[in-house]
Amino acid sequence: MNGMWKPASKPLQLSLPETVEGEFHAVWMNARTPAPSDPIPDISNLHFVDPIEAQSFKVAKRAEEHAAGRFLIAHLLQENGYIVEDYQIKRDEYRRPILIGPEPISISITHSGGLAIAIIGPTKLSVGIDVEPDSGRQRNLLPLMASGAELEKLEAAWDQNTDAASTLTNLVWVVKEAIQKATGLGMGLAPQSFEVLGKEVITINSQSYRIHSWQPLFAGQATNVALAHITDRA
């Protein structure tokens, strides 16, 4: 094991699109990307880390991602006037992290490409967020993430311009991951079972979800970010 974990950088506010409904707060920071052979850091000093789960991490990268996300949730709570020690993070039957405490708060965490993002908001507006570097996706991924008319549109995009289609495929993937998190079903909700391309609101299991996607720069790195939350709007 290595020394006690420390954040790789200072958390910074993530500006959300004006279309986001409800009082959400999000932050991001750079996360370490250790080599496979690097020692696993000791993350037991973090309030929201489950010691049993932490012991299951076999590589430093997984421990770093886990620590960064939970550090950001604690930072968000503290910055918004909550007592961090009054809350715990548990996993539900779909392994979604749930914040347990005196006030109902919805949370979501994402990490990829050396970035970590966390968001908190009202429980009634269950939220999911996802981030991926704007490095594109391969065409052979399409049948694993889309079907029907959406798959046809993506295939047509690839026939026209591979670079643009690769970026579009990555964006669709990120949006679908945000939806999977917002529903709480994770990969229990097959990405081929719903369409997001060109949509602002979709309905899953009789519940409507508002989709927001944008492409910010993080430390000069182009990324795709997607946010989904429950909405009453059709």
Tens-digit pLDDT profile for residues 69-96: 999 999 999 999 999 999 999 998 888 9
Query: Which residue stretches of the chain have pLDDT < 50?
Result: 1
Alpha-carbon distance values, 147 to 150, 167, 226 (Å): 6, 18, 20
Say how far apart CA 80 and CA 124 lie, in whole Å. Answer: 18
| Cα radius of gyration rounded to whole Å, the chain | 18
Domains of the chain by residue range? 1-125, 128-234
128-234: which CATH number, 2.60.40.10, 3.90.470.20, 3.20.20.70, 3.40.50.720? Answer: 3.90.470.20
Reported as a single tens digit per residue, the pLDDT across 5-36 is 999 999 999 999 998 888 999 999 999 999 99
Q: Maximum CA pair distance of the chain?
A: 54
Fold match flag (1-125 vs 128-234): yes
Q: Does domain 1-125 have CATH number 3.40.50?
A: no
Question: What is this structure's pTM?
Answer: 0.93
